[in-house]
Amino acid sequence: MVNVTRYAVPILKPYWTFFAGAGITYYLIGKAANASMNSDEFINDPRHPRFNRGEKVIDIKALP
Amino acid sequence: MFIFSPLDQFDMKLFMGFASPMDFMSNLNMTTFTMYTMLVYLVMYYMFKLSLNNKKMMGSQWFLSMEATFHTMLNMVKGQMGGTAYGTYVPFIYTLFIFILIANLMGMMPYSFALSACLVFMMSLSIMIWMGVTILGLVKHGFVFFSLFVPGGTPLPLVPVLVLIELLSYTARAVSLGLRLSANTLAGHLLLNILSSLMFTFMSISYLTFGMGMLPLFGVFAMVGLEWVMGMIQAYVFSILTSSYIKDAVYLH
């Protein structure tokens, strides 16, 4: 069994700004990744998660 | 004829995928990145746990080496930051150093995956640190934090130009911290892959080229040694710059 002892080291009080920064970074990088994933270059990539939902290939040339 | 790109070593392979009707669940895929991060975490955990020598009173040699790495970081942060507030940030800087060091050293194993070469990961880490440091400075000093962009002794007419330049330099820190590490690792591993495949092709032609290739092979070994050193130096540079940025935010000038 793993024996892990919890010590009273302050984590949230001195480092809450870095947690906030991590949250903001996660949000921004997620937005950038989704935008890149849904761009014309990668919308029809077979690894795109939309194909797991049963969506079909989009004809980019036919789009207005 | 199959042409293998030197960039194939940085490919993310999917081991276990989570398919769901919701978009965000697909981000929980188990890839090479996940696996190597968990390996680095396991190495970190057991490196410290097993060095405790079953919590005996007398520390082992291993425990001494772990303590030496901690004291190196403690003295580095003390030298960089100084003052009274440096102790709060030593665990963070030390964790960053050990994580990047172990990730780089694991990446040097043959056929392994270099975590530091993942540009998105390293840039996200540096952007997180930069944002954390900026919020820390703003919370601690309020609007006085912006005095960081006015170097001491600047003539008044030069202040607007200098503030813009300092602002640009400050914003560039977010990108440069992560980009430096990942670009160095990426370029180093790419170079090693190209050189070694070149040497392999050259030396496998005939006995003559095999003999001729011995001297350049030592050059390739020297490059490998350099990459080992660069991995360790980059981890140190990342930590020392992070502590410098925290010092700027906590103490301003």
pLDDT in tens, B35-48: 999 999 999 999 99
Confidence at residue A7, expressed as pLDDT on a 0 to 100 scale: 82
pLDDT of residue B168: 96
| Cβ atoms B140, B247 nearer than 8 A | no
Note the pLDDT tens digit of each residue in A10-51. 899 999 999 999 999 999 999 999 899 999 999 999 888 888
CA distances to A19, B6, B111, B146 from B193, in Å = 37, 6, 10, 46
Q: How does pLDDT run across B155-202, given as a tens digit for each residue?
A: 889 999 999 999 999 999 999 999 999 999 999 999 999 999 999 999
Q: Nearest to residue B247, comparing CAs of B124, B137, B135, B128?
A: B137
| Tokens standing for residue B204 | 């496998």
Looking at the partner chain, which of A25, A33, A49 has a beta carbon nearest the beta carbon of B128? A25
pLDDT, residue A54, reads: 81
Contacts of B26 in chain A (CB under 8 A): 49, 52
User: What residues 2-61 of chain A have any CB closer than 8 A to a CB of chain B?
Assistant: 9-10, 14-15, 17-22, 24-26, 28-30, 33-34, 47, 49, 52-53
- Mutation target among B88, B136, B245 for the A interface, most CBs of A within 10 A: B136
d(CA B1, CA A25): 43
- CB contact (8 A) between residue A15 and residue B127: no
CA B83 to chain centroid, in Å, comes to 26
* Nearest by CB: B92 against A15, A49, A53: A15
- Contact between B90 and B77 (Cβ < 8 Å): yes
Residue A59 or B192, more confident: B192
Verify whether the Cβ–Cβ distance B127 to A53 is below 8 Å.
no
**CB B192 within 8 Å of CB B9:** no
- C-alpha torsion sign, points B115, A32, A28, B239: positive
Q: What's the ipTM?
A: 0.88
Q: How far is A42 from chain B (nearest CA, A)?
A: 16
The per-residue pLDDT for B78 is: 95
